[in-house]
Structure 1
Amino acid sequence: MNGGPNQPRSPLARFQSSQVNVDEQKRNGWNRHGILVVSHDDNRLSWPERELVKQLGDRLYGQNRRKGMCHA
């Protein structure tokens, strides 16, 4: 016995990709469903854009609880 839980077995498992392209998933979410997933420290954003993302997140979901984060 290996001591851990058994992995579920499915005949479809061989079709499941082991690599997930996160940016592609984010793009699909935006294009298909209008859902935007963005990190407030994404280097592609300017400082005002990152600040806006942070403010939106705080407003919709509450203050970010992780202390000591650099918002530069």
Structure 2
Amino acid sequence: MNAPSPHYRCPLGRLQPTRPDVDAIKRDGWRDQGILVVSLDDERLDWIERELVKRIGERLYGRQGDGHVER
């Protein structure tokens, strides 16, 4: 009889962190604190929405890759 051998489960496996659901964190931040986190690469946005987000980001924080933030 060819039965599979049981795999040894290391007790340290419980200590490995689980990956958080990033979209859930963003959703909770928006709903609870009014903080919006948006990527310009988000496929759910159309061109106009991406451009609006980009302009808001540039107005608040400067251009991407500038390295200089005006306050």
Q: TM-score, normalised by structure 2?
A: 0.66
Question: Which letter does structure 2 place at the counterpart of 1:22?
Answer: V
Which runs of 5 or more structure 1 residues have no equivalent in the other structure? 1-13, 67-72
1:16 and 1:37 map into 2 onto residues whose CA distance is 27
Which runs of 5 or more structure 2 residues have no equivalent in the other structure? 1-13, 67-71
Does 1:40 pair with 2:40?
Answer: yes
Question: Which letter does structure 1 place at the counterpart of 2:51?
Answer: E
Identity of aligned residues (%): 57
Tell me which of the two structures has the higher relative contact order, counting C-alpha pairs closer than 8 angstroms and 6 or more residues apart.
Answer: 1
Structure 1: which 4+ aligned runs deviate by more than 4 Å?
A: 14-17
Q: TM-score, normalised by structure 1?
A: 0.66
